[in-house]
Structure 1
Amino acid sequence: MITNLLFYFFSNILLLSALMVILVQNSVYSVLFLILCFVAATCILCMLECEFIALIFIIIYVGAIAILFLFVVMMLDIKSVNVNKDTFKYFPIGSFLGVIFLAELIFVITSFFKTNPYENLMLINFYNNWFDKIDMFTELESLGQIMYTFYVLQFLIAGLILLLAVIGAVSLTNTPTKSKLKSQVTFKQVSRSYNGVFLYKN
Structure 2
Amino acid sequence: MGLLDGKVAVISGAARGQGRSHAVRLAEEGADIIAFDICADIDTVPYGLGTREDLDETVVLVEKLGRRIIASQTDVRNFDAVTKVVDDGAAELGGLDIVVANAGITSYYRSEELTPHHWQTVIDVNLTGVWNVARAAVPHLIDRGAGAMVLVSSSSAHVGLQNLNHYSAAKAGVVGLMQSMAVELGPHMIRVNTVHPTTVKTGMALNPIPFS
Would the TM-score normalized by the shorter structure come out above 0.5?
A: no
Larger Rg: 1
TM-score, normalised relative to structure 1 = 0.26
Which structure's residues are more often helix, by fraction? 1
Which structure's residues are more often strand, by fraction? 2
